[in-house]
Amino acid sequence: MQLSRIYIKNFRGYKQETRTTLNNLTAFVGQNDAGKSTLLEALDIFFNDGKNIVKMDKSDLNVDSDSNETTIGVCFTGFPEEIIVDSTVSTSLRDEYLLNKNLELEIHKVYRNGILKETFLIANYPNAEICSHLHTTKTAELKILAEQLGLTVADKRKSSLFRKAILSSIDNPVLEEFAIPVDQEGAKQIWNGLKDYIPIFELFQSDRKNQDQDSEIQNPMKLLIKELMKDETISGPLLHVYEKIVEESKKLADQTIEKLSEMNPEIAKELHANFEEPAWEKVFKFTLETEQGIAVNKRGSGVRRLILLNFFRAEAERRRNERNVPNVIYAFEEPETSQHPNHQKLLIEAFQDLASVEANQVILTTHSPSIAKMLPINSLRLISKNNSGDTIIKNTSDGMLLDIATTLGILPDIELHQINRVKLAICVEGKNDINFLKNINNNIFSLKEIIDLNDPQIIIIPMGGSTLQFWVNDNYLEKLNLSQLHIYDSDVGSNVPHKYRKYIDIINTRPNSIGFETLLREFENYITPDFILTKYPNCFDKKTTDWTTLDVPELIAKITHELDPQSNKSWEEVKEEKKKNKKGNAKNRINNELILEISKEHLISNGYYTEIEKWFKEAARLLQVDLIKT
């Protein structure tokens, strides 16, 4: 099951009812003390009932509230079509009318003065009188009701069969949302069946407060030993040895006291044997070391935190396997803490990979502009305060993006002194695309005659894909009143084709702006198939290969790998991470070296010249537009 929505009311800074949606990857951004950590801790309370990290208490009530009730709720999608109740009878949440009006499984937990009192399913339920309390009615009473309605069931011991018969007897039911308690009769049976599908929720806090002693933070391996000792197959034999040592030692101690009493009875009376259970994580001296013999606890705080973070991931996986639960929700509070910018980038890439696995969901919090800029726009949620001081959460929208940019102080990668004389901004996805345009412009004279991209009135900007940086740059250019030419990959043939089309459609509605989507998969495909075959004969079959959708960087990476005499693995045996690096190197080579060998004739003979020429003609036209800068 996947967490799709969160509901919070009267919990710390969330006085009013607050809802928000979640994706596979969701990042809550905002200033310090905005309520980001509160949100994750509320989820920890909901999923782990105070048994993991955070415990609910009376002080968690909003200080301005007159109520003693706190509600934390969640919605799920991807729940099982059928669940087993009454030992062997299967039913479905849809048939039982236990889904909300959005066809989600919605669960609310109500706490009074910090103590869990009730758990409800919010159900879009028939409002017919015979259905009132249907899921909280005992089997014997359901049997009587069914008989009154003239209904029969195959097994009169199964309450789910009676409910199904009664619900099916209603013609054209009118539905209304009701709160159905799960701690009584039928709903309780269904709730017990659902528990095995509720995801594991693991929270990694920025400071690991109230969990680990300082010595454990210094050496993360001590945490591993503590967790291993929870396994009775490991701890059992050790405890047996400990008890045996205690038994024999106590005999010796008692004999010592007995002998002492012969010499000094007063001192002997004051003595007794006392044994403390050993702290096993201190008994076993286990650590990680570099090849040079440097222990982890001697490394920097960023490295130690990185190890703790991945220990946390491993522990979540262990808990999932132990409970045999299909899904894990990983919650990371400010993962950028103590991390070098290069590590931050790797972390975000790792989180995106983690979230791409169907069984996983990742939730982050951050107030770092650099982290927010790296994340997809649809993953961002802004937490802030309204004019009344209430905590609010904004989902993806243009207004939200502007607020995030303002709140976090995100500025585009354009210096003001560059803008003073600039009239045209050419926007592409990345630096390789910039190299492609500049090199093909310099290399083919007829294109340079149309427009010279070295003109100081032109700036070429890498927008960074579908991230916040993309939006910020675009919005910033609009405010500077620059003419804009946008050229983005169509990515046809990839897993996510036309992912920038919606941006291009918007751009093409604006004055003095035009957007293009490449007809081929990406810029690298304009290194023509004929040229590649002259460089690498027989590297692909021109008759059967669709060059328009071909992943050219991967083709070049594969060829380069296979031609390398030091390569001892086939391309299929290369790990995905190394393939990714090799593809990156291939992109760099294509756009900085191979592009310089492409001629106008290559482009014409393959039918690509007209499209590229059109880009440059539009750039020249936009450069001539006389705009008044604001």
Contacts made by residues 54-61, CB under 8 angstroms, sequence distance 24+: 54/203, 56/111, 56/114, 56/115, 56/116, 57/114, 58/113, 58/114, 59/114, 60/11, 60/12, 60/111, 60/114, 61/10, 61/11, 61/113, 61/114
Contacts made by residues 576-581, CB under 8 angstroms, sequence distance 24+: 579/554
What residues have CB less than 8 Å from 540, skipping those under 6 apart? Answer: 529, 532, 533, 550, 555
Question: Residues 625, 483: contact at Cβ < 8 Å?
Answer: yes
Q: Are strands 69-77 and 83-85 parallel, antiparallel or unpaired?
A: unpaired
Average pLDDT, the chain: 83
What local confidence, expressed as pLDDT, does residue 187 receive? 77
Q: How many helices (H) and strands (E) are present in the chain, helices listed first?
A: 23, 18
Kindly state the greatest CA–CA separation across the chain.
Answer: 113
Joined together, the tokens standing for residue 215 give: 């010595």
Confidence band of 239 (pLDDT split at 50, 70, 90): confident
- Measured CA to CA, the distance from residue 382 to residue 403 in angstroms comes to 8
Confidence band of 67 (pLDDT split at 50, 70, 90): very high
Confidence band of 223 (pLDDT split at 50, 70, 90): low
Question: Residues 222, 304: contact at Cβ < 8 Å?
Answer: no
Q: What is the mean pLDDT of residues 15-28?
A: 93
Q: Which of 377, 450, 429, 461 is nearest to 587 (CA)?
A: 429
Q: Which of 120, 114, 129, 15 is nearest to 65 (CA)?
A: 15
What local confidence, expressed as pLDDT, does residue 533 receive? 92
Joined together, the tokens standing for residue 106 give: 């919605």
Alpha carbon 223 to chain centroid distance? 25
- Measured CA to CA, the distance from residue 205 to residue 332 in angstroms comes to 6
Confidence band of 217 (pLDDT split at 50, 70, 90): very low
3-state secondary structure of 114: coil
Strands (E), 450-602: 458-462, 483-488, 513-517
- Measured CA to CA, the distance from residue 254 to residue 214 in angstroms comes to 38
pTM of the model: 0.68
Joined together, the tokens standing for residue 32 give: 């310090």
Q: What is the mean pLDDT of residues 288-306?
A: 61
- For residue range 264-292, what is the model confidence (pLDDT) as tens digits? 778 777 777 777 777 776 676 655 565 56
Question: What share of the chain in percent tops pLDDT 70?
Answer: 85
- Measured CA to CA, the distance from residue 320 to residue 65 in angstroms comes to 37
- For residue range 159-208, what is the model confidence (pLDDT) as tens digits? 778 888 888 888 888 999 999 888 776 678 788 878 878 888 988 876 65
Cα radius of gyration (the chain): 32
Backbone angles phi, psi at 516, to 5 degrees: -120, 145
- For residue range 450-494, what is the model confidence (pLDDT) as tens digits? 999 999 899 998 887 777 777 777 777 777 788 999 999 999 999
What local confidence, expressed as pLDDT, does residue 218 receive? 42
What local confidence, expressed as pLDDT, does residue 171 receive? 84
More reliable by pLDDT, 423 or 133: 423
Backbone angles phi, psi at 594, to 5 degrees: -65, -35
Q: Which of 440, 434, 606 is nearest to 520 (CA)?
A: 606
H/E element holding 553?
Answer: helix 552-563
Burial class (CB in 10 A: 0-12, 13-18, 19+), 502: exposed
- For residue range 496-550, what is the model confidence (pLDDT) as tens digits? 899 889 889 989 998 899 999 999 999 999 999 999 999 999 889 989 999 999 9
Q: Does the structure show a pLDDT above 90 at 144? A: no
What local confidence, expressed as pLDDT, does residue 610 receive? 96
What residues have CB less than 8 Å from 448, skipping those under 6 apart? Answer: 441, 442
Question: Residues 437, 428: contact at Cβ < 8 Å?
Answer: yes
What residues have CB less than 8 Å from 261, skipping those under 6 apart? Answer: 268, 269
Q: What is the mean pLDDT of residues 36-41?
A: 92
* Ranges 60-64, 82-86, 211-215: which has the least confidence: 211-215
Query: What is the dihedral sign for C-alpha 140, 143, 147, 148?
Result: positive
* Ranges 124-128, 253-257, 481-485: which has the least confidence: 253-257
What local confidence, expressed as pLDDT, does residue 32 receive? 84
Joined together, the tokens standing for residue 136 give: 């909280």
Joined together, the tokens standing for residue 189 give: 């049976």
- Measured CA to CA, the distance from residue 333 to residue 365 in angstroms comes to 5
Confidence band of 433 (pLDDT split at 50, 70, 90): very high
Question: Residues 186, 98: contact at Cβ < 8 Å?
Answer: no
Burial 243-254 (b: 16+ CB within 10 A, else e): eeeeeeeeeebe
Distances (CA, A) of 423 to 137, 481, 512: 74, 8, 11
Q: What is the mean pLDDT of residues 30-37?
A: 88
What local confidence, expressed as pLDDT, does residue 279 receive? 73
- For residue range 386-415, what is the model confidence (pLDDT) as tens digits? 888 889 998 877 678 878 888 887 766 655
- Count Cβ atoms below 10 Å from residue 173 Cβ, excluding itself: 15
Burial class (CB in 10 A: 0-12, 13-18, 19+), 447: buried
- Measured CA to CA, the distance from residue 622 to residue 513 in angstroms comes to 8
- Measured CA to CA, the distance from residue 599 to residue 527 in angstroms comes to 10
Distances (CA, A) of 611 to 107, 131, 361, 551, 616: 54, 66, 41, 20, 9
